């Protein structure tokens, strides 16, 4: 049934299987598949007002003020004018509504930008430019090089041989190395023939939309034949086409059904822990308010029954009131209106202003501005600032967040000599910096201009024709799976599946061994200006068990050689015994390289016997064509030939960390923040980086590796780790065991457990899948949270979010997730705070984040400076606000006992209206926007100051109770001291001043001065603005008071200003000012005394640090030199092969080869010729 074009009464069934036909929109429309538009916004033009108001009135306080407004419209119980509530309420709703509208407008803008991207769609035999949002399931679209993939596509054909397509998946898994996809042979024949593509009517049946990035199953039925489909034939939304001129794809999943969107997680409304606490406190205050109103209502009933009944001639009961009990009932509601200021609506307005102001400080911070990309820090959400001061767990991506994802050839060891360090004239090693002289490679026409190296002795060795050095670089230029691209002569671009391989081949290229071209049978190298073609006889491919790769080549001279590179632990077992002494020297260099966090790799070679090789290659062919046990047979043959290798040396590659990452991690660790790295990278790569940036270090008692392949294995490994860290945690008497044995549906919070040392935990994605199951999740979170560092490798975007959710579920701690790619979006949305880094991998993470900046190192400033200041300011604001309003409101309570519980207000009605809006609003805002206990430099030097925020020490239920009691005490002083001073007192001229109006003026003057002195005590950092606000507010009070109580105002507005002459009559008396001074002293003295004694007798860790800073300020320390953190380690950072297993076989088959480069064998140059000789060397 349709109503105004809207489908109603029809619920969409859950999709079990997807069925679609290519080029048949009518057939596909019957299934009502989602189109390719995405929507992240919450409102539209018509739904904004009702939905936003509904959301705002879910906040208890707003609903309460609406209820109060209704009460004030009832004449029988209203003792205050309606505008005292309606004006602030409308203001609060308007401010919040405008902010929500701006946020949603930005989401609409972002959606519009993505949905309106252009793409070529095949419609009626022609390619037409369409918007992304109009693409539908079953459409065939054309993508070109460097295009984003529009939807999840089945690859049909491409410009490359055998319809291969190269893609970059950084948006999905954070990896920037290229991956290869290949179309089915039957669809590859379609090419770019639009007629054939239009006639293509294949039918696809596949699984329903899901979030599994690495899995796809389906079938293609074409001309009665069925063809199996898997993930290797799919191009997923978010990928980028690389090195492929064009490709055609069939849309399988669109828009919200794509795997990228299925992994992006839901956008949830984030609220701070202080917000949640305030909701609880507001409920407690309501209960307290109801109790006070009940006491006063009972008091009114008793008074009216006992006294008022007999004074009806003098004080007649209101119309309709015919009994004392009914009078008491009405007074209950009257007092609800009068005493509502214990929770003033201005509290919420002030909170929003404070948060907005502190957000601007983040936006304006020049120390978080990254000039290279012109990127300032940005607070994209303005409601979470104080939560930044309470972070306990940080979940970080690796690639692009901790690292720049740039590999640099840094050092090497050749034939027992180490290269890469720079020495001065006296032989002392000097630190490399921007001023250090670089090696000039201008003599080499084919050198990569971006490559930098500083050790000139290595170039000299190459130029002098040192045989081991030449052999070393020859190996690097031959033993790899890199693909070259040379569109212009001499302009070489290497496409490497692993960035490590690209760095090594580029190094060889710059030192005179240029990898120029390859075919399935040959590799062309330009060696020192001379072009040589090597025959490629075999590639012994890499896999995770072998941890090495080899190539067998025949040189132009006819020499048969095996070149091998791999992890040192593996290759050392395969070396010839004659290499023992060289092995010792190389090991020393490897240890030195590893100590600097470099990724190391050992290289070796072996000259092969012709006859033996002919026999081996025959057996290799038989094994590679075997139907059973192929992998095992090939592995045995590889082991056989890779023996008795001759050691050449080792390479050291730097996986460039972002600037300041080790220092930032060290500082955050000192602030008691635990860091978990969640990455899609391999275990070895993740561990290498963790050692490089000082997350893991050799001083740790142990680093546990969880890699079980079954649920039982994972459980055993987790329990073994926990047993080592805390043996007592398995006893029945353990507090947590007792707590979780009690049957309760409520999710339990795990208290912090202390391990008996410093530990790290590494867990693989496969094992994590088991550990996240319901029966193991508690074991995982107990074991992991005892560790200082946790590293999760090979995790999917959804697993990242599940890990964050798990910690949120079991730990009473605030979490922060930081990343830079689309694969981090779900984790960023799940954590309490999401931080996006605007980096190499697009803007998806930034668009989903609460805060964003350009470099990981800015995180310490965001948390330790802005976060800490925001938290302290908000806590001070709340403590002061609750105190001043309890002191203000409870005076009414005491007055009730002296006014026959008649709901008469103590203060003038104008004072009640202006107290929170004018007289006390600016001083507290000044403190909440400018206050800081220490400046940013000390905040970073003493990260321990951050700990009280994690423990929620500055504002909690106990602190609130203290504020309440302080307010009750102050209200007693403020009522009874003026009452005693006024009682039966006379002026100096003998006239009485003990009237209600003089008393009211004296109480409100005492109150305002007391709360002003209190804010002076709470302010740590004085500015001109603070001074102006405090003195200005007091001046405004006296100016308004004398004006309103003047004869002129009374003459103009007789009914509105009845306190005529009160100000000049009362405030001119010395005894009044003496009473005011006494009230101030009695209110403030206990606070000063308590704070002094607490600091002296029971100082908190924060007090001790502040004392240290105070002493240090007296004698400022000299500026500490910037030190480069270096780790000393005996653990070597193994080489991280990142290319796919089987890529070597693909190269040998020639299926990924383009036509031979026209520049591959033409033109020679010699770096040693006079024309190209570098004069400075």
Residues 6+ apart with CB under 8 A from 344: 88, 885, 916
**What was the pLDDT predicted at 286?**
85
What are the tens digits of pLDDT across the range 73-100? 777 676 666 666 677 778 778 877 887 8
Is residue 397 annotated as part of the catalytic site, yes or no? yes
Secondary structure tally for the chain: helices H, strands E: 41, 37
Query: 276 pLDDT exceeds 80?
Result: yes
Q: Which residue among 397, 655, 681, 850 is the active-site one?
A: 397
Could you tell me what percent of the chain has a pLDDT over 90?
35
Q: Worst-scoring range by mean pLDDT, 363-367, 735-739, 1065-1069? A: 735-739
Separation CA 810–CA 775 (nearest Å): 14
> With helix as H, strand as E and coil as C, how does 118-157 read?
EEEEEECCEEEEEEHHHCCCCCEEEEECCCECCCEEEEEE
User: For residue 766, what is the enclosing H or E element?
Assistant: helix 765-771
Query: What would the two tokens of residue 528 be?
Result: 């020192």
Separation CA 1057–CA 591 (nearest Å): 87
Residues 6+ apart with CB under 8 A from 425: none
Cβ 974 vs Cβ 1079: under 8 Å? yes
More confident residue, 1079 or 900: 1079
Query: 63 pLDDT exceeds 70?
Result: yes
Residue 337 phi, psi dihedral angles, 5° rounding: -70, -45
What are the tens digits of pLDDT across the range 348-405? 778 888 988 999 999 999 999 999 888 899 998 888 889 999 999 999 987 777 877 7
Query: 1163 pLDDT exceeds 70?
Result: no
Averaged pLDDT of the chain: 83
Q: Worst-scoring range by mean pLDDT, 946-960, 1028-1042, 1149-1163? A: 1149-1163
Q: Which residues of 437-448 are buried (b: 16+ CB within 10 A; e: fewer)?
A: eebebebbebbb
Separation CA 697–CA 676 (nearest Å): 15
Could you tell me what percent of the chain has a pLDDT over 70?
86
What are the tens digits of pLDDT across the range 297-335? 999 888 888 876 666 666 676 666 777 788 888 888 888
How many CA atoms lie less than 13 Å away from 796 in the CB half-sphere?
A: 20
How many residues are present in the chain? 1177
DSSP 370: B
Mapping DSSP to helix (H, G, I), strand (E, B) and coil, where does residue 743 land?
coil
**What was the pLDDT predicted at 1137?**
55
**Extended strands (E) in 199-303:** 203-207, 218-222, 225-229, 234-235, 240-242, 246-253
Query: What would the two tokens of residue 1068 be?
Result: 């001119």
Give the torsion sign (CA, 637, 643, 648, 654): positive
Separation CA 816–CA 826 (nearest Å): 12
**What was the pLDDT predicted at 33?**
92
Per-residue pLDDT averaged across 593-617, rounded? 88
**What was the pLDDT predicted at 1052?**
62
Query: 1121 pLDDT exceeds 50?
Result: no
Query: What would the two tokens of residue 31 be?
Result: 């299934």
Q: What's the alpha-carbon Rg for the chain, to the nearest Å?
A: 38
Q: CB atoms < 10 A from the CB of 311, how many?
A: 12
**What was the pLDDT predicted at 265?**
61
Res. 105 pLDDT band, cuts 50 70 90: confident
Query: What would the two tokens of residue 475 be?
Result: 């190996």
**What was the pLDDT predicted at 876?**
94
Q: Worst-scoring range by mean pLDDT, 199-203, 908-912, 931-935? A: 908-912
Per-residue pLDDT averaged across 53-60, rounded? 79
Per-residue pLDDT averaged across 670-690, rounded? 84
Query: What would the two tokens of residue 740 be?
Result: 């979780």
Kind of pairing between the strands at 378-379 and 851-853: antiparallel
Mapping DSSP to helix (H, G, I), strand (E, B) and coil, where does residue 373 land?
coil
What are the tens digits of pLDDT across the range 179-193? 888 899 899 999 889
Query: 213 pLDDT exceeds 90?
Result: no
Query: 870 pLDDT exceeds 90?
Result: yes
Query: 1126 pLDDT exceeds 90?
Result: no
**Cα 189 vs. chain centroid, distance in angstroms?**
46
Query: 294 pLDDT exceeds 80?
Result: yes
Closest CA to 806 of 790, 825, 823, 822: 790
Res. 1162 pLDDT band, cuts 50 70 90: very low
Cβ 451 vs Cβ 1120: under 8 Å? no
Mapping DSSP to helix (H, G, I), strand (E, B) and coil, where does residue 976 land?
helix
Residues 6+ apart with CB under 8 A from 894: 971, 972, 975, 976
Query: 346 pLDDT exceeds 80?
Result: no
The end-to-end CA distance of the chain, in Å, is: 85
User: For residue 6, what is the enclosing H or E element?
Assistant: strand 6-7
What are the tens digits of pLDDT across the range 488-515? 776 788 877 777 888 999 999 999 999 9
Mapping DSSP to helix (H, G, I), strand (E, B) and coil, where does residue 1138 land?
coil
Q: Which residues of 812-829 are buried (b: 16+ CB within 10 A; e: fewer)?
A: ebbbbbbbbbbbbbbbbb
**What was the pLDDT predicted at 1174?**
39
| CB-count burial class (<10 Å; 0-12, 13-18, 19+) for 540 | buried
What are the tens digits of pLDDT across the range 4-28? 333 334 445 678 889 999 999 999 9
Query: 2 pLDDT exceeds 50?
Result: no
Give the torsion sign (CA, 715, 718, 721, 723): negative
Mapping DSSP to helix (H, G, I), strand (E, B) and coil, where does residue 899 land?
coil
**What was the pLDDT predicted at 1166?**
38
Residue 182 phi, psi dihedral angles, 5° rounding: -135, 135
User: Which of the given ranges, 345-359, 808-822, 1142-1156, has the highest pLDDT on average?
Assistant: 808-822
**What was the pLDDT predicted at 298?**
92
Q: CB atoms < 10 A from the CB of 1071, how many?
A: 14
More confident residue, 717 or 730: 717
Q: Worst-scoring range by mean pLDDT, 93-97, 857-861, 1022-1026? A: 93-97
User: Which of the given ranges, 173-182, 438-447, 1047-1056, 1111-1120, has the highest pLDDT on average?
Assistant: 438-447
**Extended strands (E) in 422-547:** 422-423, 429-430, 483-488, 491-495, 513-518, 522-527, 530-540
**What was the pLDDT predicted at 959?**
93
State the DSSP string of 908-972: -HHHHHHIIIIITHHHHHHHHHH--SS-HHHHHH-GGGGHHHHTT-SSSHHHHHHHHHHHHHHHH
Query: 682 pLDDT exceeds 50?
Result: yes
**What was the pLDDT predicted at 1177?**
32
**What was the pLDDT predicted at 382?**
81
**What was the pLDDT predicted at 842?**
54
Q: CB atoms < 10 A from the CB of 213, how many?
A: 22
Query: 731 pLDDT exceeds 80?
Result: no
Residues 6+ apart with CB under 8 A from 65: 85, 88, 89, 92, 340, 345
Separation CA 1010–CA 1016 (nearest Å): 10
How many CA atoms lie less than 13 Å away from 812 in the CB half-sphere?
A: 11
Cβ 813 vs Cβ 821: under 8 Å? no
Query: What would the two tokens of residue 1010 be?
Result: 């007391």
**What was the pLDDT predicted at 79?**
63
Res. 803 pLDDT band, cuts 50 70 90: very high
How many CA atoms lie less than 13 Å away from 256 in the CB half-sphere?
A: 8
Separation CA 336–CA 353 (nearest Å): 28
**Phi/psi-derived region of residue 663, left when phi > 0, alpha when psi is between -120 and 50, beta in every other case:** alpha
Separation CA 557–CA 534 (nearest Å): 9
Separation CA 722–CA 727 (nearest Å): 7
Query: 968 pLDDT exceeds 90?
Result: yes
Q: Which residues of 632-656 are buried (b: 16+ CB within 10 A; e: fewer)?
A: ebbbebbeebbeebbbbbbbbbbbe
What are the tens digits of pLDDT across the range 36-55? 988 877 888 888 888 888 88
Query: 1133 pLDDT exceeds 70?
Result: no
**What was the pLDDT predicted at 1058?**
62
**What was the pLDDT predicted at 1054?**
59
Query: What would the two tokens of residue 11 be?
Result: 């619920």
Cβ 408 vs Cβ 652: under 8 Å? no
What are the tens digits of pLDDT across the range 545-554? 778 899 999 9
Mapping DSSP to helix (H, G, I), strand (E, B) and coil, where does residue 399 land?
coil
Give the torsion sign (CA, 1018, 1019, 1025, 1030): positive
Separation CA 1055–CA 909 (nearest Å): 12
């Amino acid at each position: 049934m349709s109503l105004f074009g809207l489908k109603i009464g029809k619920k969409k069934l859950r999709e079990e299987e997807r069925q679609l036909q290519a080029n048949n929109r009518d057939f596909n429309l019957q299934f009502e598949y989602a189109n390719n538009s995405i929507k992240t916004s919450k409102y539209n033009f018509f739904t904004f007002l009702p939905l936003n108001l509904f959301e705002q009135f879910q906040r208890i306080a707003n609903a309460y003020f609406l209820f109060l407004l209704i009460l004030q419209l009832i004449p029988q119980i209203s003792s205050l004018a309606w505008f005292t509530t309606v004006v602030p309420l409308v203001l609060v709703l308007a401010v919040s509504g405008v902010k929500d509208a701006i946020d949603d407008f930005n989401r609409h803008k972002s959606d519009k930008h993505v949905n309106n991207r252009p793409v070529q769609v095949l419609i009626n035999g022609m390619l037409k430019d369409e918007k992304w949002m109009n693409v539908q399931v079953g459409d065939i679209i054309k993508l070109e090089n460097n295009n984003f993939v529009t939807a999840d596509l089945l690859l049909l054909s491409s410009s490359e041989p055998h319809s291969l397509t190269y893609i970059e998946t950084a948006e999905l898994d954070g990896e920037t190395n290229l991956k290869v996809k290949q179309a089915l042979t039957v669809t590859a024949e379609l090419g770019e023939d639009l007629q054939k593509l239009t006639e293509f009517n294949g039918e696809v049946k596949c699984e329903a939309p899901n979030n599994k990035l690495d899995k796809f199953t389906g079938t293609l039925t074409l001309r009665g034949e069925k063809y199996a489909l898997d993930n290797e034939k799919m191009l997923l939304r978010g990928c980028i086409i690389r090195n492929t001129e064009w490709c055609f794809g069939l849309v399988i999943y669109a828009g919200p059904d794509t795997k990228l969107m299925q992994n992006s997680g839901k956008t949830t409304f984030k609220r701070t822990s202080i917000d949640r606490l305030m909701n609880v406190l507001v409920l407690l205050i309501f209960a307290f308010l109801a109790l006070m109103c009940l006491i006063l209502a009972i008091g009114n009933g008793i008074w009216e029954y006992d006294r008022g009944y007999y004074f009806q001639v003098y004080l007649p009961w209101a119309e309709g009131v015919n009994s004392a009990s009914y009078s008491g009932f009405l007074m209950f509601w009257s007092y609800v209106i009068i005493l509502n200021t214990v929770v003033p609506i201005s509290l919420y307005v002030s909170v929003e202003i404070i948060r907005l102001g502190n957000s601007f400080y983040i936006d304006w911070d020049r120390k978080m501005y990254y000039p290279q990309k012109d990127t300032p820090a940005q607070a994209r959400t303005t409601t979470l600032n104080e939560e930044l001061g309470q972070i306990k767990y940080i979940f970080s991506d690796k690639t692009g967040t901790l690292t720049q994802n740039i590999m640099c050839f840094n050092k090497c060891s050749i034939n027992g000599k180490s290269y890469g360090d720079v020495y001065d004239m006296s032989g002392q090693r000097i630190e490399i910096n921007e001023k250090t002289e670089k090696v000039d490679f201008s003599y080499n026409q084919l050198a990569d201009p971006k490559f930098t190296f500083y050790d000139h002795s290595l170039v000299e060795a190459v130029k002098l024709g040192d045989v081991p050095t030449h052999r070393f670089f020859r190996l690097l230029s031959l033993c790899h799976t890199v693909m070259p691209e040379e569109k212009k002569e001499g302009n070489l671009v290497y496409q490497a599946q692993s960035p490590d391989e690209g760095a090594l081949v580029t190094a060889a290229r710059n030192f005179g061994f240029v990898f120029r071209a390859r075919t399935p049978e040959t590799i062309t190298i330009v060696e020192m200006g001379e072009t040589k073609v090597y025959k490629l006889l075999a590639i012994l491919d890499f896999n995770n068990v072998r941890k090495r790769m080899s190539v067998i080549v025949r040189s132009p001279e006819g020499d048969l050689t095996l070149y091998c590179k791999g992890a040192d632990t593996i290759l050392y077992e395969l070396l010839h015994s004659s290499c023992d002494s060289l092995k010792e020297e190389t090991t020393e260099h490897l240890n030195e390289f590893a100590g600097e966090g470099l990724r190391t790799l050992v290289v070796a070679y072996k000259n092969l016997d012709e006859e033996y090789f002919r026999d081996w290659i025959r057996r290799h062919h038989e094994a590679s064509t075997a139907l059973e046990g192929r992998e095992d047979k090939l592995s045995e043959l590889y082991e056989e030939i890779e023996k008795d290798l001759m050691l050449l040396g080792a390479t050291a590659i730097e996986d460039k960390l972002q600037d300041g990452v080790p220092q930032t991690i060290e500082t955050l660790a000192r602030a008691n923040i635990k860091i978990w790295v969640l990455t899609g990278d391999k275990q070895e790569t993740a561990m290498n980086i963790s050692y490089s940036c000082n997350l893991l270090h050799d001083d740790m008692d142990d680093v546990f590796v969880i890699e079980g392949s079954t649920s039982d294995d994972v459980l055993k490994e987790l329990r073994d780790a926990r047993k080592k860290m805390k043996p007592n945690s398995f006893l029945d008497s353990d507090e947590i065991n007792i707590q979780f044995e009690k049957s309760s549906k409520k999710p339990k919070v795990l208290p912090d457990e202390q391990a008996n040392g410093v530990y790290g935990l590494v867990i693989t994605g496969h094992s994590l899948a088991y550990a996240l199951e319901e029966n193991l999740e508690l074991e995982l979170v107990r074991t992991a949270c005892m560790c200082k560092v946790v590293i999760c490798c090979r995790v999917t975007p959804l697993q990242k979010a599940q890990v964050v959710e798990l910690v949120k579920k079991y730990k009473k701690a605030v979490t922060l997730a930081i990343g830079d790619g689309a694969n981090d979006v779900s984790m960023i949305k799940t954590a309490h705070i999401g931080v996006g880094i605007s980096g190499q991998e697009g803007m998806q993470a930034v668009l989903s984040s609460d805060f964003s900046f350009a470099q990981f190192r800015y995180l310490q400033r965001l948390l330790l400076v802005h976060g800490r200041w925001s938290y302290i300011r908000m806590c001070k604001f709340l403590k002061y606000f609750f105190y001043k309003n309890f002191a203000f409101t409870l005076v009414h309570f005491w007055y009730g006992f002296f006014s026959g519980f008649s709901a008469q207000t103590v203060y003038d009605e104008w004072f009640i209206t202006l107290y929170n809006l004018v007289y006390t609003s600016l001083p507290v805002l000044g403190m909440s926007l400018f206050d800081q206990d220490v400046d940013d430099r000390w905040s970073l030097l003493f990260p321990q100051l951050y700990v009280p925020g994690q423990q929620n020490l500055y504002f909690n239920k106990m602190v609130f109770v203290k504020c309440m009691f302080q307010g009750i005490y102050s209200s007693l002083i403020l009522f009874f001291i003026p009452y005693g001073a006024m009682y039966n007192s006379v002026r100096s001229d003998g006239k009485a001043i003990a009237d209600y109006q003089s008393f009211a003026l004296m109480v409100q003057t005492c109150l305002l001065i007391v709360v002003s002195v209190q804010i002076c005590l709470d302010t740590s950092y004085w500015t001109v603005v603070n001074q102006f606000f405090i003195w200005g507010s007091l001046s405004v009070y006296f100016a308004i008071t004398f004006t309103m109580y003047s004869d002129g105002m009374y003459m103009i507005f007789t009914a509105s200003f009845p306190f005529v002459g009160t100000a000049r009559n009362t405030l001119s008396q010395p005894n009044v000012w003496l009473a005011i001074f006494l009230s101030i002293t009695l209110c403030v003295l206990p606070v000063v005394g308590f704070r002094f004694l607490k600091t002296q007798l029971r100082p908190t860790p924060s007090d001790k640090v502040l004392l240290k800073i105070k002493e240090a300020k007296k004698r400022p320390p000299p500026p500490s030199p910037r030190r480069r953190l270096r780790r000393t380690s005996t653990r070597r950072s193994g080489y991280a092969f990142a290319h796919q297993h089987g890529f070597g076989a693909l190269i040998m088959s020639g299926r990924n080869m383009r036509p031979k480069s026209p520049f591959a064998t033409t033109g020679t140059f010699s770096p040693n010729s006079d024309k190209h000789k570098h004069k400075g060397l």
